[in-house]
Structure formats: C-alpha cells, structure tokens
Amino acid sequence: MGLAVIFPFFSLLDGQNITSLVKHPTPLSEKTIDDYTILVPIYNDPKYFKNKDFCEKHKKNILLCLVINNTKMENFSKQMTKEGFQVFEIKENERFSPFKVLKTTLNGQITLWKKGLPVINTKYVVFMDGDSYTDEDIGRACATLEENKFDVASTIIIPSKRETLVEKMQGVEYDVSMLGRIYRPWLTSGACIIGKKECLMNIMARHTEYFYGGDMEIGTIGKIILGLNVGHVNLHVHTEVPSTITSWFNQRKKWWAGSFRGTIVNADTSICAPMLFFYNFVVVYLLLPLKASELYYHLEWIPIILIAYIILTYIANWKVRSKWMVVFPIYALFQIIVMPWFGIVEYAITSIKNKTFGRYI
C-alpha cells in the first residue's frame, strides 16, 4: 500500500499532540472579574435555548439576542424579559432579512453575535451557543485574558453527554482536538469564545457570516488576518453533540463543508499555518481519490494501519487516553475517506445557489 493511505492515518493522529505532555492550556487566574457579558443567540425557535439553567445562574451577565420572526419568538422574548433577562431583539424586515436564508448561506449564530455586540458595554464578551454551559467561573477566564494580554481566547469544549456510541466517539474526537488547541488556539469553537469587545468588534466587521465554518473564522481572522494575541484558556465548556448516526452525519457534512471553505477556498489565509495547511490541503483533499483507491485495492493492510493508529493515538494523546480509542480509528477512517466528499458537495450547492463563496474579507 502506498503512502497515499499510510501517511493520512499517521497524520490523523497529529503527532504534535504529544507536546501536550509538557504544554498546557493557560490556567485560570486566581482572581475573577465581573466586567463581561455572555451573548447567547436564539433564532427561529425558543427550543434552542437549551442552557437556560446555566443562564439563570448568571442572569446579570447574560444578554439574549433574539431574531423576532414569528409569534412564538415574540412571546418568548416577552417571557424572558418578564423573568429578568436582558433581551436584545432584532426585528425581521419583511422585504429583506438574512435570517430568511439561515439554512443556506448565512450563519444565524454569527449574525446575532455580530448585531448584539454594539449594545454591550462591558470590556469582555463571551460568545456562547444556546446549548453550551460551564460549571467554572467565567470571571476567572476573563481575568486570565487580562493577565496574559490575550485579545481573544478559545476554550476547552467537551460533549455534555457520552452515552451512545456516537457520543463516545465524539468524546474522544473532542478530547484529542482540544489538545491541539494548545498550539493552535485560533481554531475557535462556536460553543464558547471569549474576547475583548473592541477586538471582537474588529473581527466581526470582517466576518463573512457564511454558514459553514463561521465559528473558526472568528479565531482565524483574529490571529492570521488582524494579528491579535489569541490564547487558549483552561475553561471547560460542555456542549450538546449529536446522539444518533443521522444527526451526526448531517452535522459533519456541514463541518466538512466549513473545512473545505477554510482550507481550499481561503488557501491564501490558511497557508499561514503551514503544518495544518499541508495536512488539510494535501492529505485530506489532494489525496482524497488516491486514499479511496488504495483502500479498495489493498484491504489487507487496513488491520495493520488501524493497530498502528491505536498505539500512536494513545501515545500522543496520553493525557486524554480512553478505552474508546480502540475503536476510534474506524470512526476516523470513515471521516477521512467518506465525509470530505459530502462536505465538498454541500459547500458547492450552497455557494452556487447563493452566489457567494465565503472568501474571508
């Protein structure tokens, strides 16, 4: 079997993760500050407000940003205001509204964050999705940015449940991915991003609001385009992950569309992170047809590669080792061979339909 297949499996491991044995996320400060606002976007339906229990505990720091486009959302806004939440409403314009194309080009979460930012008067803003929460002190995380002079920071995102097999596989995937944030902190997740308001305003002014890869675009614009100091803080944030194969597939199709946009469509930006660019551009996309071909004609090599991958995964990700790493290579194999095709098609259909290709501004 050629390197077209062997190399991708070893690359999936991302051997850089072994540096996590000596490198760590920036620890939370012993101090805490209260000069922050948690901006939570809720669009189309109140059912997306899944972290209400968390928000209740931090009500004075919460700003709910809502698009009012139906009676249900109107009533929801009134109820939240009655319950003491700060609410910022965006009325839908019947002649034109980006929220009418949420399922295509524009990212409702990003759009709401972008529109809600100007009304905030605190120094720090926490972008948090409606299905995410943390049991730790966000004030300490903001103090960590203050002490380390970070302009923006990614956080440690972990699944809120690990019950079904699909959730367990994602648990391993998230754990491994978060180790990578130690040396690539700009790969921000929409579950939770922390930053100085003025810096986030500059970032969002350049944001495309494109549906796929919109969360990672925040960190990329901040670090690579604007040259901001982007860190990775040791704040653990729980987020909802798909629990079934169907929901997982639908989500990952969109994720891979975002990956294609970030790597190929915006290659002039992504090349500024050479190792990550090489892996994504060459290993994931350029060799995609060859990987499928090699696997088809050399099935006998698959067990050897999977065993090697299990061993290397344990070594490089020792801090987050798990018994589920034994079956994780099969999950990773499906992703690297199958899902990029669906992502490319999803990206192409969406971009052509809406006449925009998500080039970073």
- Report d(CA 48, CA 25) in Å as an integer: 30
Query: The tokens of 328 are what?
Result: 């994780």
Q: Which CATH homologous superfamily contains domain 3-354?
A: Spore Coat Polysaccharide Biosynthesis Protein SpsA; Chain A (3.90.550.10)
pLDDT at residue 94 tops 70: no
- pLDDT band of 69, cuts 50, 70, 90: confident
Q: No. of H helices and E strands in the chain?
A: 15, 8
pLDDT (0 to 100) of residue 15? 61
Q: What is the mean pLDDT of residues 70-75?
A: 92
- Report d(CA 256, CA 212) in Å as an integer: 8
- Report d(CA 241, CA 166) in Å as an integer: 9
- Report d(CA 136, CA 25) in Å as an integer: 15
pLDDT (0 to 100) of residue 356? 87
Please provide the distance, in angstroms rounded to a whole number, between the alpha carbons at the two ends of the chain: 42
Look at 102-106, 245-249, 303-307 and tell me which has the smallest mean pLDDT. Answer: 102-106
pTM: 0.90
Q: What is the mean pLDDT of residues 210-229?
A: 95
**Which H helix or E strand runs over 89?**
strand 86-91
Query: The tokens of 306 are what?
Result: 């999977």
Dihedral pair phi/psi, residue 45, rounded to 5°: -155, 135
Q: What is the mean pLDDT of residues 270-298?
A: 84
Residues near 169 by beta carbon (within 8 Å), at least 6 away in sequence: 324, 327, 328, 331
DSSP label of 299: G
Q: Where are the domains of the chain?
A: 3-354
Question: Are residues 15 and 9 in contact, defined by beta-carbon separation less than 8 angstroms?
Answer: no
Closest CA to 191 of 251, 268, 119, 149: 251
pLDDT (0 to 100) of residue 4? 45
- The secondary structure of 312-345 as a DSSP string is HHHHHTGGG--GGGGTHHHHHHHHHHTHHHHHHH
pLDDT at residue 104 tops 50: no
pLDDT at residue 105 tops 50: no
